[in-house]
Amino acid sequence: MIDPFLLISGWLQEHVVIPLLWQLGMIEYDEISFSWTQFAVYGVAQIVLTAAICWPLEKWRPVEIWADRRPVRVDVLYTFIARIGLFPLLTFFIFNALQTNLTAWVTDQGWTPPTLESAFPWLMGRPAVTFVIYMLVLDFADYWRHRLSHNLRWWWPLHSLHHAQRQMTFWCDARNHLLDDLITIFWFGAVGLLIGLPPLQFPLIVLALGFLQSLSHVNARLNFGWLGERILVSPRFHRAHHGILAAGQRSCNYGSVFSLWDQLFGTADFARAYAPTGDPSANEKLATGNYLEQQWMGLRRFAATIARA
């Protein structure tokens, strides 16, 4: 299954990436750029897979039907930037460099770089189990990142761009302000460094989490049943988080993939169902503007909040 991705990545590397790096005087990044190219190809595959699964669900049992879907098309642009552009670039040029330098420094001090396998030797030779544990750790960290983004006054103006969408679909997951995305990337990066997450596994795990997060935003009347929703975040469970009565600090259901964290920390609400979405306090441009207008209005809202503070 991996071979086709390697072939495509190799062709892009040889005919597009290497010539571009040569022109920009950055040829020293040729080796690491292959990892970025490979991840970008995985990102395209994830978009295709997500659309192939979620689009029929939205046609089958839609929560809402809109005559004008222009706001949704803006979210499509967000998805391509996040899955192919911004995140892969920062992951392989920043996270990789940070982990390399941290590992070198720790080794120079005579210590062993931290990994889950070194902390729990029974994980040696069990890559599938380790992968799931890494997912759990990152999702736990994302629960608190998400909760803080609602409850810190300076952070909410950035995150509110994500909640301003009144036409929530599976494309909505990547609808974020660039500053909010940067905070998220460094948040995940710090956790990844702390647990010794391998550089190549890091983006692959985030891609897997991203697919499940896209599914939770789908515009479909879909739940996982009583037991399933107590394990995974379903579209019904997550839509309550995006409801107009849950905007800002009054929100619930912060979990991205696993609903376990909301149950543990008292923020789970299984009673709300298929509410209208959006942020009533947001400027109209945050909801229906183009990409640049949304980014600008989010920045203005953030700056106004900082000024008032």
CA angle 88, 89, 95 (to 5 degrees): 85
Lowest mean pLDDT among 91-100, 149-158, 292-301: 91-100
For residues 254, 257, 260, 266, the Cα torsion angle rounded to the nearest 10 degrees is 10
Which residue, among 35, 59, 52, 50, has the nearest Cα to 80 in the 3D structure? 50
pLDDT at residue 105 in the model:
76
Region 284-305 average pLDDT: 95
Q: What token pair was written down for 45?
A: 């595959």
For the chain, what are the domain ranges? 69-308
pLDDT at residue 148 in the model:
96
Residue 1 has pLDDT above 60, yes or no: no
DSSP codes joined into one string, 95-147: IHHHHHHHHHHHHHTTPPPP-HHHHSGGGTT-HHHHHHHHHHHHHHHHHHHHH
The residue written with tokens 């192939």 in the block is 52
Question: Per-residue b/e over 51-78, b at no fewer than 16 CB within 10 Å?
Answer: eeebbebbeeeebeeeeeeebbebbbeb
Tell me the average pLDDT of the chain: 87
Of 44 and 86, the structure prediction assigns the larger pLDDT to 44
Which residue, among 12, 31, 163, 157, has the nearest Cα to 100 in the 3D structure? 31
pLDDT at residue 179 in the model:
93
Question: Per-residue b/e over 147-185, b at no fewer than 16 CB within 10 Å?
Answer: bebbeeeebbbbbbbbbbbbbbbbbbbbbbbebbbebbb
Q: pLDDT tier at 34 (50, 70, 90 boundaries)?
A: confident
Question: Distance between CA 235 and CA 219 in Å, rounded?
Answer: 8
Q: pLDDT tier at 95 (50, 70, 90 boundaries)?
A: low
Q: pLDDT tier at 93 (50, 70, 90 boundaries)?
A: low
Helix (H) / strand (E) element for 239: namely helix 235-242
Region 143-163 average pLDDT: 95
Residue 184 has pLDDT above 70, yes or no: yes
pLDDT at residue 169 in the model:
97
The residue written with tokens 């009144």 in the block is 166
The residue written with tokens 């989010």 in the block is 298
Question: Distance between CA 177 and CA 77 in Å, rounded?
Answer: 13
pLDDT at residue 88 in the model:
62
Of 278 and 206, the structure prediction assigns the larger pLDDT to 278
pLDDT at residue 89 in the model:
65
pLDDT at residue 199 in the model:
62
Most confident of 117-121, 246-250, 255-259: 255-259
Residue 113 has pLDDT above 70, yes or no: no
pLDDT at residue 2 in the model:
58
Of 309 and 149, the structure prediction assigns the larger pLDDT to 149
Residue 194 has pLDDT above 60, yes or no: yes
Residue 300 has pLDDT above 90, yes or no: yes
pLDDT at residue 245 in the model:
82
Region 62-89 average pLDDT: 87
